[in-house]
Amino acid sequence: MLKNIHKSIDEIYPEMVEIRRYLHQYPELSFQETKTAKYIADYYEQLEIPYEANIGGNGVIATLKGGKPGKTVALRADFDGLPIQDEKDVPYKSKFPGIMHACGHDGHTATLLTLAKVMKEYQDELEGTIVFLHQHAEEYAPGGAKPMIESGALKNVDAVFGNHLWATLPVGVLQTSKSVMMAGADRFELTIQGQGGHGAYPQETKDAIVIASEVVSQLQQIVSRRLDPLKTAVITIGMFEAGNAFNIIADRAKLTGTVRHMDVDVQEIIIEEMEKIVKGICISNDAAYTFDYVKGYPPLMNHPEEAEIVLKASKNIVEIHKAEETLPYMAGEDFAYYTMEKPGAFFFTGANKKGNPYPHHHPKFDIDEKSLPIAAKTLIGAYFGYQRS
């Protein structure tokens, strides 16, 4: 049956592309994806596959119960866009200024929708139940996964698998991990309040830029000098906002950044050390501060047995010429919440478009659409693999 399913997936490829390009033209930001959610729900309505909408927000869940007994497996795709201006010169360029699908979620959605259409034709022969889990708001913490789970998205589910089209991997390459797949991703904001004044009289001021610069330098020593060298983490200052004139010493500076980590013990050390550094530097400079640290997505932990199922599934897909275990990526993903609740695995499907070297979240980001059927075949292969496990 799997060979016939693969053939059906190949035959539906034009529709995959059509859906992906339509969604690419009409992206919606995290927690605002009402029209996209309706598009997904309407698609299942036409397929006559039972579904529920407004799960944990804008989430949509469709359920295809097979004609034979078996396990229940959830397959997940996300569908939110990003606040980025689309700079590609393509017919399917985003029609909404300042919003685009710069991470492949349009492709994820097209993959899962058309896979559902294919599997509807095989429903009577199907063992178990497929849960098509369409998640909103992956891009912005607290994300859509957690509220969907809290609303019962994984109730009665035995395992969950997810795919990410990965634009920096060649088409035909698949990656997964049997442990940590992606990092925990936090964010923080630090505001330092000094005392401004004329640039000619620094002795009368408390220079917020100088103080903040000292904080930036010291924070980088947490990873290099305060963590076990065998542990890993990243502390990045992404924004440094201060000053409004060339000859005025700034009274206020704001730092905004992210922390990436692989385990919660390291996360707690980093939070503690950041607070010590900020407090110490501000006290020594007689400055006030506010420090807000927001814990984001936890590290994404794959289960080894389910990751092995993904690797085995790839062997039956002729388009995949390389399937491998990968070291963890420092990017974050709220698929982490699913594998905290149920056995499962996340994997990357190579989607690099020749002539388009731009990474995820870039204004010129794009994917090779030939990756879509590969992702669909891997997802359904994982489903069948889990049924036999």
The first and second tokens of residue 26, run together, are 């009409």
* 18 in active site: no
Check residue 143 and give its pLDDT.
Answer: 97
In one letter, which amino acid is 96?
A: F
Per the residue annotation, which of 28, 80, 139, 319 is the catalytic one?
Answer: 80
Beta bridge partners of 240: 255
Check residue 224 and give its pLDDT.
Answer: 95
For residue 196, report the phi and psi dihedrals to the nearest 5 degrees: -80, 175
Check residue 276 and give its pLDDT.
Answer: 98
Check residue 277 and give its pLDDT.
Answer: 98
Check residue 155 and give its pLDDT.
Answer: 95
CA–CA separation, 363 and 86 (whole Å): 5
Alpha helix stretches (DSSP H) within 177-248: 208-221
CA–CA separation, 363 and 368 (whole Å): 16
Check residue 385 and give its pLDDT.
Answer: 98
Check residue 221 and give its pLDDT.
Answer: 96
Check residue 217 and give its pLDDT.
Answer: 97
- The answer to whether 371 and 171 have CB atoms below 8 angstroms apart is yes
| DSSP notation for 124-159 | GG-EEEEEEEEE---SSTT-SHHHHHHTTTTTT--E
In one letter, which amino acid is 183?
A: A
Q: Which residues contact 228 (CB under 8 A, 6 or more apart)?
A: none
- The answer to whether 333 and 300 have CB atoms below 8 angstroms apart is yes
- The answer to whether 163 and 71 have CB atoms below 8 angstroms apart is no
In one letter, which amino acid is 61?
A: I
CA–CA separation, 50 and 64 (whole Å): 7
Annotated domain spans of the chain: 2-183+299-388, 189-297
Q: Which architecture, in CATH terms, is 2-183+299-388?
A: 3-Layer(aba) Sandwich (3.40)
The first and second tokens of residue 217, run together, are 């330098």
DSSP designation for 328: P
Check residue 338 and give its pLDDT.
Answer: 98
> What are the average pLDDT values for consecutive 10-residue runs of the chain, which has 389 residues?
96 98 98 98 98 98 98 98 98 98 98 98 97 97 97 97 98 98 98 98 98 98 95 96 97 98 96 98 98 97 98 98 97 98 98 95 98 98 97
Helix (H) or strand (E) holding 113, with range, is helix 105-120
Check residue 335 and give its pLDDT.
Answer: 98
Per the residue annotation, which of 33, 78, 138, 366 is the catalytic one?
Answer: 138
* 80 in active site: yes
Check residue 75 and give its pLDDT.
Answer: 98
- The answer to whether 376 and 114 have CB atoms below 8 angstroms apart is yes
Check residue 305 and give its pLDDT.
Answer: 98
Beta bridge partners of 206: 195
Angle at 246 between CA 244 and CA 250, to 5 degrees: 50
For residue 168, report the phi and psi dihedrals to the nearest 5 degrees: -95, 0
Q: Which residues contact 290 (CB under 8 A, 6 or more apart)?
A: 189, 190, 191, 193
Cα Rg of the chain (Å, integer): 23
Q: How many CB atoms lie within 10 A of CB 14?
A: 9
Q: Which architecture, in CATH terms, is 189-297?
A: 2-Layer Sandwich (3.30)
Angle at 361 between CA 154 and CA 183, to 5 degrees: 50
Can you tell me which residue has the tokens 């969907």? 148
